[in-house]
Amino acid sequence: PLPAPYRVPLPIPAVARPTGTLGGADLYEITQRTADVEIIPGLRTTIWGYDGTFPGPTFETWSGRPVVVRHTNRLPVPTVVHLHGGHTPSDSDGWPLDLVLPVGDTSNWAHVHNGVPMVGNTIAGTREHHYPMSQRAATLWYHDHRMDFTAPNVYRGLAGMHLVRDDVEDALGLPAGDHELPLFVCDRAFAADGSFDYPSLDRTLRTVPGVEDRYMSGVLGDVVLVNGAPWPVHEVDGTRYRLRIVNGSNARRYSFALRVPGGPDLPFTQVGSDGGLLAAPVRQTALDAAPGERFDVVVDFAAVPVGTEVTMVNTLGTGSTADVVRFHVVRAARDDSRVPARLADDVAPLVPGPVVREFAFGRGAVGDTRGWTINGHAFDPNSSLADIPLGQVETWRFRSDVHHPVHVHLDPFQVLARDGKPPRPTDVGWKDTVDVLPAEIVDVAVRFTDLAGRYVFHCHNLEHEDMAMMATIRTV
Ligand code: C2O
Ligand code: CU
């Protein structure tokens, strides 16, 4: 039986602290390891976590201040770390074959795929990721990106948040401190003994990738976790709060709304999207969030009487997945925060040049089995699907068969149109993941700025990604 919702307090992940400096950068050291934790009350769950926590520690870094994160792998399988939304040099970006082998593991993990050797920069035990943080303030997250096994690795807990801050955002006076809450939302299924119930073909995650055939469309759980706790509850003041929402689910899409008993829903004032602040706040009654997307919103709990329970629900869910998190307004308090009418000056619309590239996301052959492809191709790390000149604004046209949340590494884009019509309200601002609906054509304006190298773009339904819906691009 599932636990009753809104009993467990909302956990706030620890904030990562630098352990020193390295070449002028702040050095952080993270150990990837297993831990036994209580997620479902009364049961133990073995997680794979950054520093043994799920979600991992939250990074809070400053724009323009470089960071090195030294990851040590004490898990039983290779791992790869990607900073999602990071403007990161190629060799630190988490190329799916840049494996970090478990400490002390000498087995041969060379990856052979459909008979073709796939070579990456495999390293033993520890890798240093160099992040220049030359990007605006934004809600990023980091997670595993291991070739063919991203979905089960993330499912076991390898994900965390990374907030980039800067002077522009700092000067706005948005709610801060205890009134700023990270909300990492993901769904999981649990076996009766408390373990994560993920339908891998090979539960050791060592050799055979993929999931049972009936999970082709993605793995959904019946428990919604926020910051790793099932349907938690949080006591809030009757003031504004800033919520940093990440959809870290493998395959679940949500539409979030704030229910008030006996009253109209509370609105979200959206101040930022994947790539940081919007030009101006946008009032949203619902937030449609596909896997990988982030929403930075302000909610004003002063709009309801003290004592009110405001519930963030998922209107796309049924039964247990319609519940998400509850805020219990317990006291009136003074509020010095504000949401200025103007937020940022660097969100001018991109004007695309003549280049239009089409990418069709659909089912297809992956070797001699079935999987997911882009323009009919299964992921090929050895050849680039497109070489993109730096500095050029292009139109990329994504076509879908079913839902595909498309994510591009390295630099954010802007959504231009859906089926030739204006994008939806939640497509606003700098995005790096766009929810492409079934049989839809989404046009985005893409521009890579200054880092040349090899990157990927892919579907962020992690089962689709593992089943080859990923492509290599080179920025040149
Ligand atoms: Cu969040 Cu390539 O992924
Ligand atoms: Cu997909």
Which residue type, as a one-letter code, is found at position 180?
E
Q: Residues near 344 by Cβ (< 8 Å), separated by ≥ 6?
A: 136, 168, 276, 277, 278, 279
Domain identity same for 325 and 438:
no
Residue 9 in any domain: the answer is no
Domain identity same for 102 and 233:
no
Using the mean position of ligand 2's atoms as its centre, give its distance from the Cα of residue 403 in Å: 6
Residue 1 in any domain: the answer is no
Domain identity same for 319 and 181:
yes
Name residue 26's beta-bridge partners. Answer: 21, 67
Using the mean position of ligand 1's atoms as its centre, give its distance from the Cα of residue 432 in Å: 9
Using the mean position of ligand 1's atoms as its centre, give its distance from the Cα of residue 468 in Å: 13
> Which ligand gives the minimal distance to the CA of 144?
1
Atom of ligand 1 nearest to the CA of 292: 1
Which residue type, as a one-letter code, is found at position 254?
Y
pLDDT of residue 208: 84
Atom of ligand 1 nearest to the CA of 85: 1
Q: Tokens 């998190």 map to which residue?
A: 325
Q: How far is CA 161 from CA 14, 70, 147, 198, in A?
A: 10, 16, 21, 23
- Please work out, in degrees rounded to the nearest 5, the angle formed at the alpha carbon of residue 53 by the alpha carbons of 51 and 57: 70
pLDDT of residue 119: 76
Domain identity same for 122 and 188:
no
Nearest CA to ligand 1 atom 3: 84
* Residue that is last in its domain, among 148, 167, 186: 167
* Residue that is last in its domain, among 136, 167, 198: 167
- Does residue 65 have a pLDDT over 60? yes
pLDDT of residue 354: 96
Using the mean position of ligand 1's atoms as its centre, give its distance from the Cα of residue 262 in Å: 40
Q: Residues near 349 by Cβ (< 8 Å), separated by ≥ 6?
A: 414, 445
Domain of residue 106, CATH code: 2.60.40.420
The average pLDDT across 21-36 equals 98
Nearest CA to ligand 1 atom 1: 84
Mind listing the pLDDT tens digit for each residue in 275-289? Answer: 999 999 999 999 999
Nearest in space to 251 (alpha carbons), one of 359, 372, 360: 372
Residue 166 in tokens: 């800067």
Residue 172 in any domain: the answer is no
- Does residue 418 have a pLDDT over 70? yes
Mind listing the pLDDT tens digit for each residue in 137-158? Answer: 999 999 999 999 999 999 999 9
**Other residues' Cβ atoms within 10 Å of the Cβ of residue 11:** 17
Mind listing the pLDDT tens digit for each residue in 348-361? Answer: 999 999 999 999 99
Sign of CA dihedral 237, 238, 244, 246: positive
Atom of ligand 1 nearest to the CA of 409: 2
Using the mean position of ligand 2's atoms as its centre, give its distance from the Cα of residue 460 in Å: 6
- Pairing relation of β-strands 393-400 and 356-366? parallel
Domain identity same for 135 and 199:
no
Domain identity same for 64 and 160:
yes
Q: Is 145 in the pocket of ligand 1 (CB under 6 A)?
A: yes
Atom of ligand 1 nearest to the CA of 143: 1
Q: Is 129 in the pocket of ligand 1 (CB under 6 A)?
A: no
Q: Residues near 115 by Cβ (< 8 Å), separated by ≥ 6?
A: none
Domain identity same for 394 and 468:
yes
379 Cα distance to chain centroid: 20
Domain identity same for 28 and 63:
yes
Mind listing the pLDDT tens digit for each residue in 360-388? Answer: 999 999 988 889 999 999 999 989 999 99
Q: Is the ipTM of this complex over 0.85?
A: yes
- Does residue 114 have a pLDDT over 60? no
pLDDT of residue 118: 72
Q: Is 162 in the pocket of ligand 1 (CB under 6 A)?
A: no
Q: Is 85 in the pocket of ligand 1 (CB under 6 A)?
A: no
pLDDT of residue 437: 98
Task: Supply the mean pLDDT for the chain.
Answer: 96
Q: Is 292 in the pocket of ligand 1 (CB under 6 A)?
A: yes
Using the mean position of ligand 1's atoms as its centre, give its distance from the Cα of residue 306 in Å: 40
The average pLDDT across 38-49 equals 97
Using the mean position of ligand 2's atoms as its centre, give its distance from the Cα of residue 171 in Å: 39
Q: Is 94 in the pocket of ligand 1 (CB under 6 A)?
A: no
Q: Is 294 in the pocket of ligand 1 (CB under 6 A)?
A: no
Residue 420 in any domain: the answer is yes
> Which ligand gives the minimal distance to the CA of 247?
1
Using the mean position of ligand 2's atoms as its centre, give its distance from the Cα of residue 229 in Å: 27
- Does residue 108 have a pLDDT over 80? no
Mind listing the pLDDT tens digit for each residue in 300-345? Answer: 999 999 999 999 999 999 999 999 999 999 999 999 999 999 999 9
Look at the chain and report how many structural domains it folds into.
Answer: 3
**pLDDT tier, 206 (very low <50, low <70, confident <90, very high otherwise):** confident
Using the mean position of ligand 2's atoms as its centre, give its distance from the Cα of residue 465 in Å: 7
Q: Residues near 144 by Cβ (< 8 Å), separated by ≥ 6?
A: 79, 80, 81, 82, 150, 153, 154, 158, 159
Q: Is 165 in the pocket of ligand 1 (CB under 6 A)?
A: no
Q: How far apart are CA 197 and CA 192, in angstroms?
A: 9
Domain identity same for 88 and 136:
yes
**pLDDT tier, 115 (very low <50, low <70, confident <90, very high otherwise):** low
Mind giving me the DSSP string for 244-264?
Answer: EEEE--SS--EEEEEEETTEE
- Please work out, in degrees rounded to the nearest 5, the angle formed at the alpha carbon of residue 314 by the alpha carbons of 310 and 315: 110
Contact 20, 27 (CB under 8 A): yes
Contact 359, 397 (CB under 8 A): yes
**pLDDT tier, 116 (very low <50, low <70, confident <90, very high otherwise):** low
Domain identity same for 207 and 279:
yes
Domain identity same for 304 and 430:
no
Alpha helix (H) ranges present in 8-131? none
- Does residue 248 have a pLDDT over 90? yes
The average pLDDT across 114-128 equals 83
**pLDDT tier, 107 (very low <50, low <70, confident <90, very high otherwise):** confident
Q: Supply φ then ψ for residue 393, to 5 degrees.
A: -95, 125
Using the mean position of ligand 1's atoms as its centre, give its distance from the Cα of residue 119 in Å: 20
Name residue 418's beta-bridge partners. Answer: 421, 442
Residue 440 in any domain: the answer is yes
Nearest in space to 275 (alpha carbons), one of 376, 144, 412, 149: 412
pLDDT of residue 310: 98
Alpha helix (H) ranges present in 94-211? 150-155, 167-170
> Which ligand gives the minimal distance to the CA of 294?
1
Top pLDDT among 112 and 278 is at 278
Range of the domain at 70: 20-167
Domain identity same for 191 and 147:
no
Atom of ligand 1 nearest to the CA of 84: 1
CB half-sphere exposure, 136, CA atoms < 13 A: 20
Using the mean position of ligand 1's atoms as its centre, give its distance from the Cα of residue 143 in Å: 7
Mind listing the pLDDT tens digit for each residue in 232-247? Answer: 999 999 999 999 999 9
Atom of ligand 1 nearest to the CA of 470: 2
> Which ligand gives the minimal distance to the CA of 398?
2
- Percent of the chain scored above 90 by pLDDT? 92
- Does residue 100 have a pLDDT over 80? yes
Q: How far is CA 374 from CA 308, 405, 472, in A?
A: 48, 13, 10
* Residue that is last in its domain, among 121, 148, 167: 167
Q: Is 82 in the pocket of ligand 1 (CB under 6 A)?
A: yes
